Structure 1
Amino acid sequence: MQTIGLIGGMSWESSLVYYRDLNLGVQERLGGLSSPKVVLSTVDFAELTDLEDNERWDQIGDLLAEAGRGVERAGADFLLLCTTTFHKVADAVSDAVDIPLLHLGDVVAEACKQGGHSTVGLIGTKVAMEDSFFVDRLAAHGVTVLVPDAKHHDTLNDAIYDELVHGNVVDATRRRVVAITEELWDAGAGAILLGCTELELLIRRADIELPAIPCTTLHVQAAIDKALA
């Protein structure tokens, strides 16, 4: 079994989901007392969000690259960023280490193609929706990504940063987010990417009419596949 390297803390709720689901997944596949070999480094989310607010992505890249080097030194065979938004600096992290980075965008694009979804909607943070880094990564695989109207970006961002990263799941917020997914459906999306780990805490598959593609769940499954290959 290969050792999985995780860079987490963006938020700790996200790291919790990754660690829990990696353990549950390996136990389900191998049975008994089996568990994954994991190295985890977490960063100070407050420091990163302050840098994000000031658009200091160069410094964010340096911080996450250093975390990646630490995970590599600790014995990881490959690396995951436990976040969608901070994949914006994935290249800086990948360039800093000698182990592979399992990029979320590549994993999600493959799942979209396998599911027959050539056009999908993305809900996530403002950065993930307004910057092209994630959309372009999927486009390179032939998947078209639609994002919500700009008037909804603050609603989604606030739901993530003001509620979900603190573990607060609010029914009224769920209803607002479901309405946003319905607009994406009307615009031509054949499925909805839950493009932030915390959104998987809010939106359940039964909540929306379109297929929900849980990006974190797919990332975890791909990591288990790679670790057990």
Structure 2
Amino acid sequence: MTETARVHAYGNGDSSGPGQLGRGVRLPRTERRAQLLAAAQQVFAANGYHAAAMDDIAEQAGVSKPVLYQHFPGKLDLYIALLESHVDNLVGRVQEALSSTTDNKQRVHNAVGAFFEFVNGDAGAFRMVFESDLRGEPSVQQAVDRATSASVDAITETITADAGLDEDRARLLAVGLVGLSQVSARFWLAHHSSMSREEAVALTSTLAWRGIGAGFPLQQHP
């Protein structure tokens, strides 16, 4: 299980999650780190960054403050580590969506779906990535920017290879697809009571495909 997966497992009520292992229980470093990140996610989601305290995070994780500080020197370090894990999760979803098939229409559908799944999976995670209140902090902004830039890079590579476009034109289309997917997914989350995620993904991906697929068909390579 990856660190990101452990964070989500703990955050979704895993029986060995934050606050349930108790003080004095020794864990491998990677598992302890994932446990602390999951506890931090709960505290940041409940209180926001500025009101969250390291005392609260240590208590949520069931560890002493010295243990918490052994892994993360300060609150900002902990926040950035958590943010980076969420960005890795999103980018991994997009990359998997693109590599899961060679059918470009399905690729567009899967890529759009990756953003909807991320937004729907953990409201606290997507708000940290897309609505962070620490964007004025350079290290936070860098992580937030990577969520978009790495997704754009992955889609650009696919479009360049399959649509016969140069990198600049492929990147512009990739930026459009990522922007459409992000904004649509966030709008759907706020107003999705009358529409399933599957229908929202289908509508959004159809719009994207009619622009990309119809205008830039798959090139046959020798």
Q: From the two aligned structures, give the one with the greater helix fraction.
A: 2
Q: Rg larger in 1 or in 2? A: 2
Q: From the two aligned structures, give the one with the greater strand fraction.
A: 1
Question: Could you say whether these structures have the same fold, taking a TM-score greater than 0.5 normalized by the shorter chain as the test?
Answer: no
Higher relative contact order (CA 8 A, sep 6+): 1
For normalisation by structure 1, the TM-score amounts to: 0.32
For normalisation by structure 2, the TM-score amounts to: 0.33
